[in-house]
Structure 1
Amino acid sequence: MKPARLAVLAIALVTGGLAAYLMSGDDKPPAPVILAAPPPPVLPTTDVLVAAAELSMGQSLQAADLRWQPWPDQAITPGYITRTSQPKGLEDITGSIARSGFLSGEPIRPQKLARSDGGFMAAILPSGMRAVAIVTDSRGSSSAGGFILPNDHVDLIRTYRDEEAMQAGGSETQISETILTDIRVLAVGQIVQEKNGSNVVTGETTTLALTPAQAEIVTLAQKVGQLSLSLRSLVDSGRATEVAPDTRGEGGVTVVRFGVSKQQSRR
């Protein structure tokens, strides 16, 4: 073979080997560039006074029960206590009584608090209402089987003897009638708040929130008969109820409209 051909063949072999070496290299492809996500915008916040733990109705608030917590400015309502508007809000609220329960982290609102210089029942009683206690049976015969709890709504039923019917017929006659409807229960015995949904009937009295006129009706009804409580559904709470007149006898009947009792003739 001619030297020129040998030279060309040698050059081709060297070039091919070099190309094969370069193709089999261990160099890895460059890693993809990952762009970091931009940080979320920082929302302006203001310190708001909140409950440091769950607070129950009637609890006297102490400093350990409260704390300042950053709150987004756009979520602050006029009822919140802020460090900007009330720097001594924590100290001012300490000693107040909770008129209703607070969840942990819930903002403290003055509308749900009462001053501690009065009795507890007076603190949780709504404005214009009166607290009246009636005698009930803790075994449940006059309190819906013992399932009536604080903050439930009930109807009041009066049971009494019909003296006129007894004189006319000679036999004892008992009459039951609803005298008030949709009445809020403030306390059962000495318990003013439901605990874990359990039966909390521990006494012989039930305290009701009544208007002055309703308080007079209930006080008189206790003197001339026996009162029982009829538990209302949560769906029916706040709805006006009209009691149909009783057609027995010729005397009067009590008709209840919007929680107000009124006497009218059966005729």
Structure 2
Amino acid sequence: MANLLVLSGGHPYEAEPFEDLIRSVAHSLGEWDVTHLVHPEAEERVAAGAADHADALLFYDMGGYEFADGKVTSRPPSKGFKEAIERRFAAGKGAVAMHHAIAGWADWPAWAEVLGGRFLYQPGEWRGEPMPDSGYRHDVAYEAEVVADHPVTAGLPATFPMVDELYLAPIDEGAVHPLIRARHSFTRDNFYSAAQAVAGKMFSNTDWDHPDGSNLVAWWKEVGTSRLVYLQFGDGPETYANPFVRRALSNALAFTSGAQ
């Protein structure tokens, strides 16, 4: 029986609806065995080898942050965790990353290179260039548009409805293979500042500026000889229950595990 390792923690989410998503996807793949690890245990167990033999790996975590008193501090992962992730990709074993995983490990630049994009909670850098903090917008109703005939998009209609959180953040379209785009305008006026949210000013973009961004919400890329799929879907129960999200996630896990 194939096995799936799921990593979560570092960002709030509704546990039972998420577990239902994972159970449904595991069933669709043929009753895969699932191990779900939550930070900080997830970091410790991966460093100890938990990811080495998993057939499929799902990052739904946002490691390396502490939010307190209107401020955010960050740290890199442990040496053992970094080595375990690098070892997995070097061995030709892939992974899927969802939603807020693109914000994880702000002090480990290689993580953003693996994913092909980076969500910043504070002004920082992307590829050596200064960047403002990223933008977010909850509960956006939009049409997702499939832009590639690919194993990850197999069985999906050309367009499908979504209600989910979207991000305005740097994505290197030249380094990824586009799969799904959002029919939405990724401009400053349609998003809120992540840094202001951390400071207690939710849903504000006052005095915040950000360049227009990519409308990609799903892509895949090569990491060495391995496959990485990123799905921006995943803010909450409505998204978890969306049958098209479930299909895309199931396809992505099969594709990155070599089962497809």
Q: TM (normalized to structure 1)?
A: 0.20
Relative contact order, higher structure (CA 8 A, sep 6+): 2
Instruction: Give 1 or 2 for the bigger CA radius of gyration.
Output: 1
Q: TM (normalized to structure 2)?
A: 0.20
